[in-house]
């Protein structure tokens, strides 16, 4: 029987707290028969303080449907469930499981102010954390309790000695001058009639701690560290009481903590029972009240909280000769260690972290000025378990220093931390190295989505770089539900863009010495990221909300460009071209102003399409003209009459092809030249951040999939698979972050966990497996696999807004077999390899097959093999036994 599942408001995950009075609803149909579609639906609304209502609608749409029962008031909670009618039955489905949607406070509902234990932070060094506590009475007739919590800093709430939430580092990092995220916490289960206590751990976090590179900046947003908490109790008779709280503070046992520096915790200083009622706080200090700035928005979160999402046992754990305990987690992660053991009072241990080893030592040079050292002093009271509270590290390897040699080794676990996003997409193939590379992409994405998309989790940076996320957004949106995380980040970008008059190279902005000038490919994130989210969700409101930011960026570049040609000012260009020296990462074989002009044409065209979809014909015409002028300027300046690109680099050709800057007559010439350049480079990657995601697509579009596969499956450096052969478990910032001899690239920018170069994963999903949206939100699905590279099978799945989509293909000799699963309410357009006919499939499971002859050089042309990698060695012996024999050391 057909059922309604996964009911949810907007793009949220539970708990469903909104700050809009009319959240849109989405759901999915499961257990359907092939071709079954929804024909109507009914929504049951049950407000907790009002009579329930039912509203019925006709229609086949199940995604982002309008709220139709009047506004949800501030603080109001509504239980919602849905049932549907479908084409397969005259009877409705059973009701879905109900969900509760709660609206948070509006600006006028706040009566509490910030309270602070520390108004001044003079010294530029890690500071201690603080404890705040307050007691209050709960009458026996209280039936509900809510705490609305945010901070200048990061805060953890306890109630009567128990954790109130499993989120960490709340409220996260936003552009604090514009917006603070508020957690809405249901405390009723933690309260008892009579005396109760709140306890808060409070630290600097991003608000007052060190941010940025080059030494960084302290106190970026203010000198205070402070808490804003409004506690409200609901009585059985309907009364609501805002509880006055007399906050007092003391220093925490955390004697110093910083996001880059690590955390020191002295368990001897932990005041037992401090967050429980009856604790003697006479020696504690009164807090200072700080009035709220009414211009700063207090907003519900749009994305999931940061949590501990996985626990890893060490892959290896041993004592070194000098007494250090070496730990290999087995996977490069963002997170922290949890240590459990018995030790005498006053014994202090240190936890050191690094992504890789260099020789026999932790490689800490790539951390730059991030110490990444945690320190714990034992209280000596039996078995103690500890993990840092207010810091994170990027690491695979760690060492415990100071553990006595005469004691059993402590128990250690690694806690993986990131935004708790729902997994959406998967990929697998017959090529083991390619699959490991894809898994590395997944891990790098996980490790770098910590409240916002950052560039690396280990060194003194961890900033929201715009260029990185715009190239990676398509892959990210396939792999995880990133809509809420990226919507929050886009709000920061737009808020700061209004203040600065331009999009900066990272947001939230920290003025730590990086140029503030607009840069192509980075500022273009203001257009490309919302467009990508719309393409993957079908949510036009994302475009409508982002439109002022999108138009401001394109208007700014239009003013800077000379008749469409952006030929002046600061540019990052094709950043980290592999031919650039370690000391000059911006050197590139591609003219940065060619890149700038190409991006201007591309994003102006996307903006015109967005305006058309939003019904703004005047601006549609305007930006179509801007795009046409930029295309003409590009062609005039960079395209020869014969169709050659003047810069004659792989990036310039790939951009011209994929951004639609060439005529149909010129595409063959460009494609042939692109193929020739890739072959001349021995099928090694010769592109930086901006060119890398485009090359394989450009080759396939111009008829050279064999060359694309040979490039994709290359193992010699620089290549996507070279790091895999070196044991990488994440994507590197540089193609050669680790050199073949195991030494580390001498450049200052050498991260081993940086998702930008993994953006090619989108090509794996769309082209290798063949799964892509043909219409925004996957209402129509494109299935068009392009097999090659000797792959015998590939598979991709994606949890679309309508349900799971799966594409799986196998090659058995000359027979190509394709399995497709299409979710209810959608259809798929299938193009089989080597064909042009479009086959339309309705919902359900389908199997197709046809004869398919491999290209002459599929498997790929002879290549340089990595004989030291077991997987590569085995493939070499299978495909090229004579070469394997000759290569034997």
Q: Catalytic residues, which ones?
A: 461, 733
What would the 3-class secondary structure string for 506-531 be? ECCCCCCCCCCCCCCCCCCHHHHHHH
Pairing verdict, β 38-47 and 53-58: antiparallel
Q: Cα 738 to the chain's mean position, in Å? A: 25
Residue whose token pair is 């006028």? 108
Contact between 176 and 227 under an 8 Å Cβ cutoff? The reply is: no
Alpha-carbon gap, residue 503 to 525, rounded angstroms: 9
Give CB contacts under 8 A, 24+ apart, made by 381-384.
Answer: 381/267, 381/345, 382/342, 383/340, 383/341, 383/342, 384/267, 384/340, 384/341, 384/342, 384/343
- Rounded to the nearest 5°, which phi and psi values hold at 877? -65, -30
- Rounded to the nearest 5°, which phi and psi values hold at 686? -125, 35
Pairing verdict, β 262-266 and 254-258: antiparallel
What would the 3-class secondary structure string for 150-190 be? EEECEEEEEECCEECCCCCCCCCCCCCCCEEECEEEECHHH
Around Cβ 612, how many Cβ atoms within 10 Å? Answer: 15
Residues whose CB is less than 8 angstroms from the CB of residue 524 and which lie 6 or more positions away in sequence, other chains included: 466, 470, 553, 599, 602, 603
Q: Which two tokens stand for residue 61?
A: 């749409």
Residue 767 carries which DSSP code? Answer: I
Contact between 503 and 175 under an 8 Å Cβ cutoff? The reply is: no
Alpha-carbon gap, residue 568 to 258, rounded angstroms: 40
Residues whose CB is less than 8 angstroms from the CB of residue 497 and which lie 6 or more positions away in sequence, other chains included: 503, 504, 526, 549, 552, 553
Bridge partner list, 351? 374, 400
Q: Which two tokens stand for residue 626?
A: 């801007």
Residue whose token pair is 């021995």? 682
What would the 3-class secondary structure string for 53-87 be? EEEEEECCCCCCECCCCCCCCCCCEEEEEEEEEEC
Exposed/middle/buried for residue 690 (C-beta within 10 Å: 0-12, 13-18, 19+): buried
The residue ranges of DSSP E strands in 587-649, in sequence order, are none
My answer on whether omega of the bond before 171 falls inside 30° of 0, hence cis, is yes
Pairing verdict, β 297-299 and 179-181: parallel
Q: Which two tokens stand for residue 151?
A: 């901070």
Alpha-carbon gap, residue 586 to 568, rounded angstroms: 16
Alpha-carbon gap, residue 403 to 265, rounded angstroms: 16
Around Cβ 822, how many Cβ atoms within 10 Å? Answer: 28
Contact between 655 and 664 under an 8 Å Cβ cutoff? The reply is: no
Alpha-carbon gap, residue 889 to 563, rounded angstroms: 60
What would the 3-class secondary structure string for 322-364 be? CCCEEEEEEEEEEEEEEEEECCCCCCEEEEEEECCEECCEECC
Q: Which two tokens stand for residue 854?
A: 């491999």
Q: Which two tokens stand for residue 369?
A: 């000025």
């Amino acid at each position: 029987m057909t059922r309604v599942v996964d009911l949810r408001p907007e793009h949220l995950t539970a708990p469903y707290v909104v700050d809009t009075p009319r959240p849109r609803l989405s759901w999915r149909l499961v257990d359907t028969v092939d071709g079954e579609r929804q024909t109507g639906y009914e929504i049951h609304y049950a407000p907790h303080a009002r009579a329930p209502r039912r509203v019925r609608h006709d229609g086949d749409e199940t995604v982002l449907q309008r709220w139709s029962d009047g506004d949800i008031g501030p603080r109001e909670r509504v239980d919602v469930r849905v049932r549907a009618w479908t084409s397969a039955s005259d009877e409705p489905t059973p009701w879905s499981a109900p969900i509760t949607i709660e609206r948070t406070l509006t600006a006028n509902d706040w009566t509490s102010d910030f309270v602070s234990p520390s108004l001044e932070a003079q010294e530029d060094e890690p500071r201690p954390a603080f404890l705040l506590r307050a007691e209050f009475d709960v009458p026996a007739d209280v039936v509900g309790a809510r705490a609305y919590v945010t901070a200048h800093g990061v805060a953890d709430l306890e109630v009567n000695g128990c954790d109130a939430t499993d989120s960490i580092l709340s409220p996260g990092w936003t552009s604090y001058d514009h917006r603070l995220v508020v957690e809405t916490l249901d405390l009723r289960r933690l309260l008892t009639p009579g005396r109760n206590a709140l306890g808060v751990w409070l630290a600097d976090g991003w608000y007052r701690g060190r941010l940025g590179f080059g030494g960084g900046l302290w106190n970026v947003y203010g000198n205070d560290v402070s808490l804003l908490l409004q506690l409200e109790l609901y009585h059985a008779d309907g009364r609501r009481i805002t509880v006055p709280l007399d906050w007092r503070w003391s220093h925490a046992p955390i004697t110093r903590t910083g996001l880059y520096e690590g955390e020191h915790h002295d368990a001897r200083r932990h005041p037992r029972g401090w967050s429980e009622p009856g604790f003697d706080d006479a020696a504690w200090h009164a807090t200072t009240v700080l009035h709220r700035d009414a211009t700063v928005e207090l907003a519900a979160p749009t994305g999931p909280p940061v949590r501990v999402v996985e626990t890893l046992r060490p892959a290896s754990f041993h004592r070194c000769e000098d007494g250090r305990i070496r730990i290999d987690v087995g996977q490069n992660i963002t997170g922290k260690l949890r240590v459990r053991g018995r030790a005498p009072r006053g014994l202090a241990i240190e936890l050191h972290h690094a992504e890789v080893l260099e020789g026999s030592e932790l490689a800490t040079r790539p951390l730059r000025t991030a110490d990444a050292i945690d320190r714990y002093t034992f209280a000596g009271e039996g078995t103690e378990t500890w993990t840092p509270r207010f810091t994170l590290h990027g690491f695979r390897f760690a060492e415990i220093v100071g553990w006595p040699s005469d004691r059993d080794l402590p128990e250690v676990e690694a806690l993986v931390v990131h935004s708790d996003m729902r997994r959406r997409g998967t990929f697998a193939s017959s090529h083991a190295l390619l699959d490991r590379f894809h898994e590395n992409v997944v891990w790098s994405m996980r490790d770098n989505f910590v409240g916002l998309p950052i560039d690396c989790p280990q060194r003194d940076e961890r900033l929201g770089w715009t260029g990185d996320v715009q190239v990676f957004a398509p892959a990210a949106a396939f792999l995880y539900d990133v809509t809420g995380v990226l919507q929050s980040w886009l709000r920061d970008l737009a808020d700061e863009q209004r203040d600065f008059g331009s999009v900066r190279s990272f947001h939230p902005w920290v003025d730590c010495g990086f140029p503030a000038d607009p840069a192509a490919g980075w500022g273009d994130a203001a257009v490309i990221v919302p467009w990508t989210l719309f393409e993957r969700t079908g949510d036009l409101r994302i475009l409508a909300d982002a439109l002022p930011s999108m138009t401001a960026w394109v208007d700014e570049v239009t003013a800077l460009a000379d008749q469409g040609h952006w030929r002046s000012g600061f540019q990052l260009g094709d950043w980290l071209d592999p031919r650039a020296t370690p000391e000059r990462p911006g050197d590139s074989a591609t003219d940065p102003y060619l890149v700038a002009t190409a991006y201007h044409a591309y994003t102006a065209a996307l903006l015109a399409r967005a305006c058309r979809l939003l019904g703004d014909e005047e601006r549609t015409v305007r930006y179509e003209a801007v795009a046409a002028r930029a295309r003409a300027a590009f062609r005039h300046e960079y395209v020869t009459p014969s169709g050659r690109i003047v810069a004659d680099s792989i990036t310039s050709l790939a951009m011209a092809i994929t951004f639609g800057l060439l005529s149909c007559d010129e595409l063959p010439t460009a494609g042939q030249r692109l193929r020739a350049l890739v072959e001349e480079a021995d099928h090694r990657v010769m592109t930086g951040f901006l060119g890398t995601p485009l090359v394989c697509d450009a080759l396939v579009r111009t008829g050279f999939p064999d060359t694309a596969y040979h490039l994709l499956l290359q193992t010699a450096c620089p290549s996507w698979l070279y790091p895999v052969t070196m044991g990488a478990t994440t994507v590197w910032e540089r193609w050669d972050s680790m050199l073949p001899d195991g030494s580390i690239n001498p450049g200052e920018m050498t991260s081993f966990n940086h998702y930008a170069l993994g953006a090619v994963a989108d090509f794996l999903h769309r082209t290798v497996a063949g799964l892509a949206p043909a219409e925004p939100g996957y209402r129509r699905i494109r299935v068009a696999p392009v097999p090659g590279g000797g792959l015998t099978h590939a598979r991709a799945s994606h949890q679309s807004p309508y349900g799971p989509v799966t594409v799986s293909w196998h090659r058995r000799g000359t027979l190509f077999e394709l399995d497709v699963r299409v979710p209810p309410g959608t259809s798929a357009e299938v193009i089989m390899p080597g064909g042009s006919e479009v086959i339309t499939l309705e919902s359900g499971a389908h199997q197709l097959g046809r004869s398919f002859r491999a290209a002459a050089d599929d498997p790929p042309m002879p290549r340089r093999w990595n004989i030291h990698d077991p997987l590569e060695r085995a493939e070499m012996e299978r495909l090229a036994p004579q070469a394997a024999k000759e290569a034997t050391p």
